[in-house]
């Protein structure tokens, strides 16, 4: 690409080595979650939420289990102000939920914020001002000391108005654009704010370090967080919060590594909505923890319902490949993937294993409200026998022999390839029924009679080209006798008969299902299936279906050696 010379590193490394986080494997407990959907997420919508929609969204977040919810910037607009007052006056905030509001470090804005908070049970007041080198030089044109003065002044104003306002308040400070701020300066400004607030064990405060713009690889952000965690004043009384954005597509990785580095609290949104490429996705973060056996302390057991409410209110769409939630993430088109997943399910059933280790599936879809049928296996020209066989077995109780699965799989893939489309389960079922089950052309089975002496003798009633005829055969069993009748009387030649049967239960009725494969003189195997309430009838129909497939394929003329046409 051109113009690479115009870009250079715009972040700052810690002045001392800060890499203890590398010694940890994963986070062993959930962070404090703070949803910023109703503020950071809402301001990024093409059409921001109405007051009524905000109330519905707030209830969704409470239902999921968020204990901290940023509800807006009440001094910014009448809608934001009215929403907060509605929550307070109508007593809509559960006792165990703390709301959070945002304010700039400006006297009249802080005053209006506290005015709006009157009567709240408990609230986090989130103070911020931008500290990055780029913002200081280009936007504010202020020195470091002038920027510190903005933060310190705001910190004192929070104390002043909190003491004059009914309610319980927790203070939070964010050096906005932290990732573009020199680390020694970021530490200095945070400590100056902490010196104003002087947190205690009974009156903790929050320092939030946002990747307002993601500027580095995740390990750099982790080192920045570790440096701050190690050097903040009053550290034992400070809740260290992180707020990653996703400009580089690494928001989740930034958050996970930052937690290893000392982050105790995470601000983010459902499905990552937010300015530009979005905030960190809390759904993904929480379910990543879940896959490591860590309870994320959020109820995500019905992702389809959560996603439907989110899409309806925000008018945003969750991508089909979105981690965990996307419509296609539990779907396999690849044949090798389908085969491995199918075998993984069977292994799990046989072993009754408690640990989830199904190939290609990092999570059990049922744990988040998804279903296997129609989700896990979908069929196109890239699919394989495993997935196609799995669909027939799960949805139609048809358990094909392995070699028949392979043969049928090629037929299905060819159809999909020719039509250039995905095949739905009912279409695959139709292909199987029309191509293998109870076939009547060119030979139709009508009836049979048996007599038993030293062996079995049969008289078969069949229809060929519209004529009803009888043929006879002898064998060591009923099916063997019928098979010999077909071969000796009709001149059909095959060997290596493969047989499988099982019950098929659909609804309140149960049928017998038989599968038969026969091999011609060239080694080609032809398959047939018979379905009937009677097991013997299903076996005979399977044999006739296999023979009909062979006759149709090789266009063998049928010669009746001795027969009686029934008038």
Q: Which residues are annotated as a binding site for Mg(2+)?
A: 40, 243, 245, 279
447 sits in which H/E element? strand 443-452
Residue recorded with tokens 């296609």: 328
- Three-state DSSP class for 148? helix
DSSP string, 505-537: EETTEEEEEEEEEEE-TTS-EEEEEEEESSHHH
Q: Taking the CB of residue 16, how many other CB atoms lie within 10 A of it?
A: 11
* Look-up of token digits 């932290």: 178
Distance CA 27, CA 408 (A): 47
Q: Which segments are annotated as binding site?
A: 40, 243, 245, 279
Q: For residue 149, give every residue at least 6 positions away whose Cβ sits within 8 Å of its Cβ, in sequence order, or none.
A: none
Structure tokens at 354: 């408690």
Element spanning 419, H or E: helix 402-419
Residue 347 and residue 386 in contact, taking contact as beta carbons nearer than 8 Å: no
CA distance 34 to 263: 13
Angle at alpha carbon of residue 329, lines to 325 and 330, rounded to 5°? 105
Q: What share of the chain is helix, strand, coil (3-state, %, to 5)?
A: 45, 20, 35
Task: Specify whether the backbone of 126 is left (phi greater than 0), alpha (psi in -120 to 50) or beta.
Answer: beta
Phi-psi region of 274 (alpha: psi -120 to 50; beta: other; left: phi over 0): left
Q: Find tokens 């709301």 and name the residue.
A: 99
Q: Is the peptide bond before 442 cis (omega within 30 degrees of 0)?
A: yes
Per the listing, tokens 């999570």 go with 363
Biggest CA-to-CA distance, the chain: 111
Name, in order, each residue with C-beta under 8 angstroms of 2's C-beta and a sequence gap of 6 or more. Answer: none
Give the other-Cβ count within 10 Å of 135's Cβ. 19
Count the Cβ atoms, other than its own, within 10 Å of residue 214.
Answer: 23
Tell me how many degrees the CA angle 538-463-546 measures, rounded to the nearest 5: 45
End-to-end CA distance of the chain: 84
């Amino acid at each position: 690409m051109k113009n690479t010379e115009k870009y250079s590193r715009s972040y700052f490394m810690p002045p001392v080595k800060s890499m203890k986080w590398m010694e940890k494997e994963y986070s062993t407990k959930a962070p404090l979650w703070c949803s910023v959907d109703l503020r950071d997420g809402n301001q990024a919508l093409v059409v921001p939420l109405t007051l009524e929609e905000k109330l519905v969204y707030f209830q969704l977040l409470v239902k999921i289990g968020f204990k901290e919810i940023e509800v807006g910037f009440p001094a910014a607009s009448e809608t934001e102000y009215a929403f907060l007052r509605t929550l307070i006056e109508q007593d809509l905030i559960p006792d165990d939920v703390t709301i959070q509001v945002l304010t700039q470090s400006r006297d009249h804005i802080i005053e209006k914020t506290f005015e709006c908070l009157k009567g709240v049970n408990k609230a986090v007041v989130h103070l911020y001002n931008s500290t990055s080198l780029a913002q200081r030089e280009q936007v504010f044109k202020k020195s470091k000391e002038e920027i510190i003065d903005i933060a310190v002044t705001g910190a004192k104003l929070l104390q002043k108005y909190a003491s004059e306002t009914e309610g319980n308040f927790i203070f939070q400070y964010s050096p906005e654009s932290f990732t573009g701020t020199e680390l020694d300066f970021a530490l200095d400004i945070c400590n100056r704010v902490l010196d104003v607030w002087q947190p205690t064990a009974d009156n903790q405060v929050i320092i939030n370090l946002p990747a307002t713009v993601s500027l580095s690889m995740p390990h750099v952000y982790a080192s920045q967080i570790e440096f701050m965690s190690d050097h903040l004043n009053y550290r034992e009384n400070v809740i260290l919060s992180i707020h990653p954005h996703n400009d580089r597509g690494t928001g989740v990785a930034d958050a996970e590594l930052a937690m290893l580095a000392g982050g105790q609290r995470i601000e983010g949104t459902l499905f990552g909505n937010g300015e530009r490429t979005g905030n960190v996705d809390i759904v993904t973060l929480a379910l990543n923890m879940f896959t490591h056996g860590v309870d994320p302390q959020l109820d995500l057991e019905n992702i389809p319902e959560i996603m439907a409410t989110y899409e309806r209110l925000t008018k945003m769409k969750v991508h089909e490949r979105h981690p965990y939630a996307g419509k296609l993430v539990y779907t396999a088109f690849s044949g090798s993937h389908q085969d491995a997943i199918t075998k993984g399910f069977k292994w799990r059933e046989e072993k009754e294993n408690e640990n989830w280790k199904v190939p290609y599936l990092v999570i059990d879809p049922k744990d988040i409200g998804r279903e296997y049928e129609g989700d896990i296996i979908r069929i196109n020209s890239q699919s394989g026998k495993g997935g196609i066989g799995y669909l027939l077995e799960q949805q139609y109780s048809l358990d094909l022999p392995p070699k028949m699965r392979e043969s049928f799989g090629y037929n299905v893939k060819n159809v999909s390839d020719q039509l250039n489309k995905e095949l739905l389960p009912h279409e695959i079922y139709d292909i199987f029924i029309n191509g293998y089950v109870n076939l009547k052309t060119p030979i139709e089975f009508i009836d049979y009679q048996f007599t038993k002496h030293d062996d079995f003798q049969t008289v078969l009633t069949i229809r060929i080209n519209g004529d009803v005829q009888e043929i006879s055969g002898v064998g060591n069993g009923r099916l063997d006798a019928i098979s010999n009748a077909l071969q000796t009387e009709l001149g059909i030649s095959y060997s290596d008969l493969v047989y499988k049967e099982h019950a098929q239960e659909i609804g309140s009725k149960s049928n017998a299902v038989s599968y038969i494969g026969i091999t011609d003189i060239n080694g080609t195997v032809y398959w047939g299936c018979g379905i009937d309430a009677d097991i013997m009838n299903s076996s005979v129909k399977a044999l006739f279906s296999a023979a009909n497939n062979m006759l149709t394929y090789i266009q063998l003329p049928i010669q009746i050696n001795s027969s009686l046409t029934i008038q």
